[in-house]
């Protein structure tokens, strides 16, 4: 069984905006499913399950997901993408945004994300990813970048 432990920081005002966190969880779910589809290519769709199995409602908010039938390549890509998002948000010298204003998300600012997507979508030396799939993935990643309550940690564990 694969688990992902997520941590979300409070918003700039110190609160945990549950609507924003719910939106981030939807983006995470869709990102994992889309990566799973890319990693499983050319096989047909499989039954994939992503479930919340634990929530700790402190600051930081901690959520544990369990994954079933998500390929290892997709989980690695997800973890690399999350690291990129977290590093980008925490980098020194990044201008502070006023309360309630999100930084414009630009996936090109995430140096390891494109490599992670290509590795996930690569099969027999070929990358199988359409422009539509790439735009969808970038949409999920941008949503996580713009979140009011940022993702602070994404740790993958096998049990």
Parse the chain into domains and list their residue ranges: 2-92+102-158
Give the Cα separation of 10 and 12 in Å (integer).
Answer: 7
**Tens digit of each residue's pLDDT (9 = 90 or more) over 105-139:** 556 667 788 888 888 877 655 667 788 988 999 89
Q: Which residues partner with 56 through β-bridges?
A: 62
What the block records as the tokens of 80 is 């690399």
Model confidence, pTM? 0.83
**Tens digit of each residue's pLDDT (9 = 90 or more) over 8-47:** 988 778 888 889 999 999 999 999 999 998 888 766 666 7
Q: Which residue has the higher pLDDT, 112 or 102?
A: 112
Q: Yes or no: say if 4 and 153 are a contact pair by the CB < 8 Å rule.
A: no
Instruction: Identify the three-state secondary structure at position 88.
Output: helix
């Amino acid at each position: 069984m694969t688990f992902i432990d997520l941590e979300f920081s409070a918003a700039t005002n110190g609160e945990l905006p549950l609507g924003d966190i719910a939106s981030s969880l939807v983006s995470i779910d869709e990102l994992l499913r889309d990566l799973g589809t890319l990693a499983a290519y050319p096989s047909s769709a499989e039954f994939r399950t992503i479930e919340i199995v634990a929530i700790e409602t402190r600051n930081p908010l901690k959520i544990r997901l369990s994954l079933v039938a998500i390929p290892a390549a997709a989980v690695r890509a997800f973890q690399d993408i999350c690291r990129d998002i977290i590093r980008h948000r925490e980098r020194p010298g990044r201008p502070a945004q006023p309360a309630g204003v999100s930084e414009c998300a630009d996936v090109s600012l995430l140096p390891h994300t494109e490599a992670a997507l290509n590795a996930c979508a690569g099969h027999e030396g070929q990358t199988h990813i359409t422009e539509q799939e790439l735009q969808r993935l970038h949409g999920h990643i941008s949503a996580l970048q713009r979140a009011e309550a940022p993702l602070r940690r994404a740790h993958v564990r096998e049990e």
